[in-house]
Structures are given as structure tokens and as C-alpha cells.
Amino acid sequence: MADLERTLEVFAKLSLQNFTNDWVKSIWDNDFTEIDPLDLAVEGELEDNGYHTVTFRILQTVFDDWKSNKEGKDGEGFWSVLVENDISHKSLIALFAYLMEIGNKKTSGSTKKEAGILSASCYIKMLSIPGSIAFKVFHPVLYEKAVDIIKTINTLGAGSKRKRSVSPAPSQKGKRGRGNKTRNQDPTLNLQDFGSDDDESIEELAPQEISGFRKLLESLLKDLISLLETTSLRQSESSAYHTVQILATLTRQDTDTYDGKFDQGTIQRLSLPGLAYRGLSLLCKPLHGHVGSLVNATCKYLLPNLLMLIGDNKVAATSVPKHIQVTRDHAMYFISSLLKSEERSVNTVKTLLQHMCTKVPDKAEYRGKVAQSVVTILQELPNTAYGHMVEWFYKLSKHSKINNRAFAMEVVLSLLSTPERQPDENMTPETAVFIKHTSLLGILLARCSDAAPTVRTRAISSFSTCFLSKDRVIKETLQDIVTPRSRLREHAPPHLIPTPAMDIRTQSTTDDMPDDDGVTSMFRRRAKDPKVNVRKAALHALENIIRFQCPDYSRQDSMAI
């Protein structure tokens, strides 16, 4: 049972009657977009009471009590207690809004910042109390302001500063006007680094203060996760999307303290990125609205994680940092878990994979690691969706952009290292063809004569690697591909994968190498390619073919041939 006396006692300490009806009404009428200043006397009393930081901590426990117990000892509800005791919930929410506004300013002191975070926490907890919808406690603007406070944890400690009042010397007063004028004329200076009041200077936050704020912000995030578990955001679609955006930014923090398992244990044991992923998983459930739209928003904001972009979507100058790779692994695990728990996410994840393939940075390390991510996520797709994606890779391998064709080779080669799927009864014959390794080999083989030397080289090297595979299906398919056809057998069945048209040939090498000899003749032509790397790849492929056909041949025998 909730403690009625304690509830009334904590509300009495807040002195809500000091806030005029006009002030409260103005805040509500402006939809919390404009917060009017308080009278000096009321503001002074707030300051004397430490902006009620101690009282708000007690209020948090009171709200938790009402949320879990739902009623007092006589069966009364929280909202009926407020009405019967003439306690204005609108005045309380207006106070929350005011303290969030002043506490979120860069120049606010520690007490104001603490009060702002605690106000946001109390508001989030208040939304969780049964009956809050009837009293219209939820407001999209105020909710989003409360959620925005959480994202300050991203920059906490990174140059965090607060203002300290100082008494300038008389000589400083005389120079202040000229100093400000010069400051505004210098475009290289950030005006936000300077306060709006002339009698204040900047002071670094102490480590203890940073640690205290961090704990408060993590507690606020946990309150938000608890809210998402029980209370729907369906009434405000924009608020749900905004929450997704904020939580996605938190997934890039403290990666070294998170093992990727957001769906195990209580929220009290989860680290910052674990809490963020737990929140994202909750938002992707039917409780909060249209699942497809929310999953789409989640994938959109996690795309930079999967592409291993740094900061403002920048590419690493040298190698990809370890913590960025860990961030990618966490996002990959989340998407895979999402596919297992929510069938309606399949189409959105397919779109996500396509964006990953077309937006991957043009660097070898990025292509290799992103290709691994694509293949890992592909393994969670059902057969039909998997077949559609392989068909899309076939189209990507013919794209006009060289980078897209090259990346398709990376993905196809990685897919060949996975077990071959078997068609199910729900698949159409057209789609069933694409889940076989035969189709993947055909994509590689078709690009061995690509117009771009880099793609030719990559395709030949990838196809050559397949001859070293231990997979029985791949070995049988390759055996059929490299076996020459006789010209006299006109009615013999065609090759499983025909030799691609030779778009790039030199006049001196085309007449004596007919296509009837199959793949081997194509690699012999590529061994006389104008580009050095293509010739090297083709010679290596020929060596692997010889070793594949005749395992007892030595390297010296191969070179002699």
C-alpha cells in the first residue's frame, strides 16, 4: 500500500501554492515551448530550498510506491488523493518544466543541473502511475525535453564547464565593452563558450560532480526504460521516433563495459549501451505503435554503427578503432535478435542490408568487415527473404558503380563459406534457385570479365579461392564448371553455369582461345590481360584449377604447364 501521509508531506514541501495560476496556465497554453520566468520572491525561495533537489529524491520514491502498489490503505488512488487535497498536478508539471529548462542550460550551476535531471526523472515516473492518461499528464514536448536531458551524458566530462561568479576589478569594468565588441567580430570564437552575464567566468566541473551527474542520468535512463515496459507511446508517434533517435546515440557509449546481451537480466545490471538497446527493443513492439515504422527508424539510426562510422559519420583515417568495431558487433547482435523476435522486421532489415551494401566506405578494411556483418545478419533471414537478397546481390554485381560491384564480390565470397540452404515448400522455384551456392558461383564467374580491372581481379581471386573449399556441393559444382565441352557434342546438356561473354579481349589473344573450352580458357585469356593484378589473379586461379583437378601435381608441375 502507498503511504498517504508521506505523499502529502512531500507535496507540502514543494509549496505548489506559490506558483500563480497565470504562470502555470501560460506554460500549459504555450505547450511548454516557452517558459516564463518566476517572480523574484518565488525564485529566491526555490534557490533557498536548493531547488528542491532533496524533496525530488523523496518524491521519486513516493511515485515508485504508487506505481507498484496502485492505491493507499483505504483503497484511494494517487490522483484522487491529489484532487481531494487540492494539489494541482498542473502546477507540479509546470515546476518540472521550469527546472528542466533552467537546468539544461550550459551556464547553469550544479544545483540547477541536478534539479533539472531530477525533475525529468519525476515526470517520467509520474507518467508510469496508473491513471496518468486520464489526467493528461503526458505532453509530447515536455516528454521530449525530459528525454533530451539523457543525451547530455554523451558529452559529460568532455569539456563540461560551469559558471563561477567573480567580482571584476574596476579596470576590467572599463574594458568590458570593448572586449565584448572585439569578441563578436572574431568569427573563430564560439560565443557559447562565454556566458550571457558579464560578472561570471567559466570553471571546470569537478570529477565528483561529473560522476554524480552521470549516475543521475543513468537513473533517468532506467526510469525511461521502465516507462517503455508498461506505458504506450502510441498517442504520440513523433515522441516514439524521438526516443529511438536518443537511444541510438547512447549505443556508442561505454562499449568496453557491455557484452552485447541487452535482453538478459534486470535493467539495474545493464550498462549504458545495454539500457539503450533494451529501450530500442521495447520500442519495436506493438505496444508503442506501428512496428514496421519503429523498426525502420531504429535501423536508420543504427546504420552508422553497422558501417563503423566515427563521430559525425566520418571514416577512420587509418585502421578502424577497436571500440568502433565493438559498436558494430553490438548493433549486429541487436538486429539479429530483432529478426528472431519480430517477424514484421524482415522487410525493414532487408532494406537496411541494401543500404549497408551501397553506403559502405570505399576502403578495403571497411568492405571486408561490413561484408561480414551483412552475411551474419543474412543468416537470420528466412529462406524466401534470403533468396530475394541473393537475387538483389546479382543485380548489385551489375551496378554501374565499380564500388558496388566490388562489394558484391565480398559478400558473395563470404556467403559461399556458409552452409547451403535447402528450399522449403513456401518458396517459388524462381526464388529457390538463388539460395543455392550455384547461383553465388555464377555471380562471381560473371564478374571475372568485368569492365573494371579491380572488379575483375577481385572476382577471379574470389572464384579461385572456391577451389580450396572443403564443401562437397561447391566442389561438385566447380567440377562441372571447369570440365571442358567437346564441340562435337552438339546435343549434350549445357553447362550448369555458362562461360560469360568476354567483354574485354586483346586482338592478339582471342583467336586461339575459343569459349568452347569453358572456364579454363577464360582464365588463360585473363592471364594475358593488360593489367598486372588481373594476370596475377588469373595465374593463381589456373594453378588452383590444376591442383583441384590433379591433387598430386606439385607446384613445379603447375608452373611447367
Cα dihedral 58, 61, 66, 69, rounded to 10, equals: -140
Question: How many CB atoms neighbour CB 30 within 10 A?
Answer: 13
**Distance, CA of 78 to CA of 418 (rounded, Å):** 58
- State the Cα–Cα distance between residues 388 and 373, nearest whole angstrom: 18
Give the pLDDT of residue 409: 94
**What is the pLDDT at residue 318?**
85
Cβ-proximal residues to 512 (8 Å cutoff; 6+ apart), any chain: none
Q: What is the pLDDT of residue 247?
A: 96
- In terms of Cα–Cα distance, which of 432, 437, 463 is closest to 450? 463
Output the pTM of the full model: 0.82
Tally of CB atoms within 10 A around 188: 4
Under a CB-based contact definition with an 8 Å cutoff, are residues 126 and 167 in contact? no
Q: Cα(466)–Cα(71) distance, rounded to whole angstroms?
A: 68
Domain boundaries defined on the chain? 1-154+208-231, 234-310+324-338+347-357
- Number of Cβ within a 10 Å radius of residue 83: 12
CA–CA gap between residue 281 and residue 434 (Å, rounded):
31
Alpha-carbon gap, residue 248 to 550, rounded angstroms: 54
* Closest to 474 measured CA to CA, from 485, 484, 463, 483: 463
Question: What's 279-293 look like in SS3?
Answer: HHHHHCCHHHCCHHH
Q: How confident is the model at residue 196, as a pLDDT?
A: 40
pLDDT given for residue 75 in this prediction: 67
Please tell me whether residue 200 adopts helix, strand or coil conformation: strand
pLDDT in single tens digits along all 561 residues of the chain: 567 889 999 999 999 999 999 999 999 999 999 999 999 999 999 999 999 999 999 999 999 999 887 766 666 789 999 999 999 999 999 999 999 999 988 888 899 999 999 999 999 999 999 999 999 999 999 999 999 999 999 887 655 454 444 444 444 444 444 444 433 444 333 433 333 444 444 456 778 888 899 999 999 999 999 999 999 999 899 999 999 999 999 999 888 777 777 877 788 888 899 999 999 999 999 999 888 999 999 999 999 999 999 878 888 888 999 999 999 999 999 999 999 988 889 999 999 999 999 999 999 999 999 999 999 999 999 999 999 999 999 999 999 999 999 999 999 999 999 999 998 888 898 999 999 999 999 999 999 989 999 999 999 999 999 988 888 888 888 887 776 554 444 444 443 344 443 333 323 333 333 334 578 888 888 899 899 999 999 999 888 888 887 776 655 555 555
Answer positive or negative: Cα dihedral of 448, 449, 450, 456: positive
- What does 395-420 look like in DSSP terms, one character per residue? HHTT-SSHHHHHHHHHHHHHHHTSPP
∠ Cα 337 343 345 (to 5°): 75
Q: How many alpha carbons fall within 13 Å on the CB side of residue 320?
A: 23
DSSP conformational letter for 204: E
| pLDDT at site 9 | 94
